[in-house]
Amino acid sequence: MDLIYIILLSSISIYGLHACIWKLIDTFLNKNIEHVRFLLKQHNKTLYLSLMPILFCRLCMSSFLGSIFYWTYGWILGGATVTAWILSILAIAGILAYLIRTEK
């Protein structure tokens, strides 16, 4: 049952974190996130590729931040395994894909 809580908490956290990042960039830089992404891709490809799974792509964030959340929660709650980690990453990506599809 703990795995379900980890998956739901991670999915909602990643979805909310991505929305906050988009809003902060829009507010403080006064630019659309797609414009910032385009500028990074044109001028600094290495920075763009390193920030892609952390800031710009929700499904990419599911694998990167989902792993961090899973191993952190698994360490706190105990009983983290590699098999459950893989299943949780797939479930987090599935939940995020569903949330992305229903928001439009």
Per-residue pLDDT tens digits for 35-90: 888 888 899 888 888 888 887 888 888 888 888 888 887 777 777 788 888 888 88
Q: SS3 letters for the chain?
A: CHHHHHHHHHHHHHHHHHHHHHHHHHHHCCCCHHHHHHHHHHHCHHHHHHHHHHHHCHHHHHHHHHHHHHHHHHHHHCCCCHHHHHHHHHHHHHHHHHHHHHHC
pLDDT at 104: 64
> Does the pTM of the predicted model rise above 0.85?
no
Does 28 score more than 80 pLDDT? yes
